[in-house]
Structure formats: C-alpha cells, structure tokens
Amino acid sequence: MSNYRRCYVPGGSYFFTVVTERRAKILGNDLAMDLLRAAFQDCFQRWPPFRVDAMVMLHDHMHAIWMLPPDDADYPKRWAAIKKHFTQSWLALGGSEKPRSSSRIAHRRRGVWQRYYAEHTLRDERDYQRHFDYIHYNPIKHGLVESPRDWPYSTFHR
C-alpha cells in the first residue's frame, strides 16, 4: 500500500468503493442511510458541495461516483469527514464496531470503517457509464435483488 498514488483532477469525476471494518454488515438499512445522509449534508456545509451522480449502499460496502467542483480535487478530506461523522453518530446510537488493536487505539481509529478506500478517476464517458451501471447493478451481483429498482439504498430511483 505504501506505493499507491492517488490521482487528483480538479473538477474531476471519481468512482469510489468504501468498505466497513472487516466487512461488518452495518449498512444497507434505514438507520445507516439516515446517518450517511446527515454525514453528506455536514460535508456539503463545510466545503464546496460536490455532485453525487450515483451511489449504492450494500450491507458491508458502498460505491459512489462524485463530480468535484472546478478547481477542487480534495476528495480525501471529504471522505474523512463523512466517515468520521457517520462513525460518531453510529456509536452514539449504540452501533457496534469491530475490536480495535492497540495501534488503532493509539491513532484514535474506530472499528467501523476500513482505513483505506478504493478510488478510480473516470477517464471518459465510456468509463463513466461503465461504473455508473456497475453501481446500480451491484445489488444484483451480490444476490440481494433481481432488479436495481428493488434495492432501496441506491440512487437508481432518482
């Protein structure tokens, strides 16, 4: 992981995969949706808002496509804020977390989200469309529903 380099394109479109710690099944429910929505709203108030073009929340991970504002490529601070806000709200409501190592405790990291997330800078319209479709068909891929319209935790309904 130490050789991984992220790509920063101001005003760019990005595909993300964010996973819960040890794939804990804490997402994909109404409470998680409400907490995630509040975390995004908090982020929109703190920094120039970005556009969420597509998103799906499954039980242990989520995918999203964001388009950042012109002259802004700082998606890491936004993900950090969203994950922090969600975690604090989740734990305040009695949500569970995975056991934490001494290193996690020393670095003040909770056991709700994996530390890293996957990011892919979308290169062109074809790349964008492929990831857009992937997001909405992800619940089918995981055997949760037979049609994207049947999964309630997705932007497919927009």
Give the whole-angstrom CA distance, residue 26 versus residue 97. Answer: 9
Give the whole-angstrom CA distance, residue 88 versus residue 145. Answer: 30
Asked whether 62 and 97 are in contact (CB, 8 A), the reply is no
Axis crossing angle, helix 75-92 with helix 30-46, rounded to the nearest 10? 140
Q: Kindly list the distances between the CA atom of residue 155 and the CA atoms of 10, 133, 136, in Å, as whole numbers in the listed order.
A: 24, 11, 8
DSSP type of residue 106: H
Annotated catalytic residue 153 = yes
Indicate which residues carry an active-site annotation: 153
